[in-house]
Amino acid sequence: MAKIITREWTSRGPTGRRVRHVSYGYDLAVNGKRERHFSTEWLTEADALGALTARLKAIDAGQLVPPAARTLKELADEYLQYKTDRKKRSLREDRRIIKTRILPAFGADLQVKKLTGPMIAQYEKRRSGEVSAFTVGNELTILRHMLRLGRRWGYLEHVPDIEPPKKPEGRRRYLDEAEIGKLLTACAESRNKYLGGIVALAVNTGMRKGEVLGLEWERIDLSSARITLYDTKNGTPRGVPMNRAVYDALITLAPAAEQRAGLVFKARDGGAWGQIRTAFATALRKAGIQGFRFHDLRHTAASHLVMRGASLKEVQEVLGHKDFKMTLRYAHLSPAHLRAAVDRLDGLTEVTTKNDGAAEPVHAAV
């Protein structure tokens, strides 16, 4: 039988008067063993009831180990399952970081409640001397999220202070028109038959690599020149208009209507074509382009949209940015963006002087 329990005690306050305290917890039996748990995070009976409900669900799922005995490895397994159930796109990277960084650094058998702030600070200090602030920030963000869920599930009373280092501003590497031409020429010479089409789609639509490689003909409407994406990074479907270059690339890939089914870029068995890392790296080398990644093709599309007069709102919609701050990274590339804003000040400093009895406007020089 499970129930909510309370613990009461008194202590002397700053004025010397006795102060009454109450903490909430739960009591239940698991396989004949009693399990009691209190937490200072549970400020009301409802908080304790929520933790008890979560614990009972965990027991039903076969997780019989008491929360107090949870190890970092056990919490990590539950965390990864949590993300798997919610089909999080970052699952693969989270699993890699947990397996190769977090567990080896702190110990898989370390009890979660014994992981302290100073231990995490030492980890941050060591890693900061090995990798970039961006990488350290990613690792600590995953650890913090994992511990916050552990607290919610009743495995620890509080989360140690974790303040990931400020990540540097995102990359804005993009290709100029001459570089785009050289890259497409190198792609056309590639042994990978799809490379040219893949790069052409990425440059002309701003689609992510996963979106391009996972594109299906059923999501393409050639008559309206529009692609509809459902499996996006932020989970929100978006429509991507096609220009002539994209239309021609798709028609070249499948000239006959009966060919347009399933994946656009597919293997002989109809499955996914796979990664293009080696072929793309080879094309970059032949084109003489350095310090460039496939994702930078997305930046290339956004940058040229802005430089050719597209509004930032239009760029946001094409790229599918949920947060407008992501789009603002390209504001400095717009030749008209700041000029349009400053033009609104025209006439602000207008003054009048008398000249032969007539008032004439005098404007500040621009």
- DSSP one-letter string for 201-242: HHHHH---HHHHHT-BGGGEETTTTEEEE-S-TTS--EEEE-
Q: Say if residues 330 and 302 touch (Cβ distance below 8 Å).
A: yes
CATH H superfamily, domain 177-334: Intergrase catalytic core (1.10.443.10)
Tell me which residue has tokens 């990277």.
Answer: 93
Helix (H) or strand (E) holding 286: helix 277-287
Q: Active-site residue 363, yes or no?
A: no
Residue 346 tokens read as 């025209």
- Select which of 83, 127, 321, 329 is catalytic: 321
Q: Say if residues 246 and 336 touch (Cβ distance below 8 Å).
A: no
pLDDT of residue 66: 60
CATH number of the domain at 66-168, please? 1.10.150.130
Q: Active-site residue 57, yes or no?
A: no
- Select which of 208, 209, 219, 304 is catalytic: 208
pLDDT of residue 366: 42
Spatial separation of the C-alpha atoms in residues 309 and 317, rounded to whole Å: 15
Q: Active-site residue 330, yes or no?
A: yes
pLDDT of residue 198: 96
The three-class DSSP label of residue 344 is: coil
pLDDT of residue 332: 67
Q: Active-site residue 233, yes or no?
A: yes
Tell me which residue has tokens 């349009």.
Answer: 340
Nearest CA to 300 out of 231, 204, 223, 225 is that of: 204
- Select which of 55, 298, 299, 304 is catalytic: 298
Spatial separation of the C-alpha atoms in residues 330 and 325, rounded to whole Å: 10
Q: Phi and psi (nearest 5°) for 107?
A: 100, 125
- From first to last of its 366 residues, the chain has per-residue pLDDT tens of 789 988 777 766 666 677 787 878 888 888 777 777 777 667 888 888 888 888 888 888 877 666 556 889 989 998 998 888 877 778 889 999 999 999 999 999 898 988 999 999 999 999 998 988 888 999 999 999 999 998 888 788 789 988 888 765 555 688 989 999 999 999 999 999 999 999 999 999 999 998 999 999 999 999 999 999 887 777 778 899 999 999 999 999 999 999 999 999 998 888 888 889 999 999 999 999 998 999 999 889 988 888 888 888 888 888 888 777 777 777 766 655 556 666 767 777 765 545 555 555 545 444
pLDDT of residue 147: 94
Strand-pairing partners, residue 33, are: 30
- For the chain, the structural domain boundaries read 1-64, 66-168, 177-334
- Select which of 171, 260, 295, 337 is catalytic: 295
Tell me which residue has tokens 């995490």.
Answer: 120
pLDDT of residue 92: 87
pLDDT of residue 20: 80
Model pTM greater than 0.75? no
Helix (H) or strand (E) holding 55: helix 45-60
Which residue type, as a one-letter code, is found at position 55? R
- Select which of 89, 113, 173, 233 is catalytic: 233
Spatial separation of the C-alpha atoms in residues 309 and 333, rounded to whole Å: 10
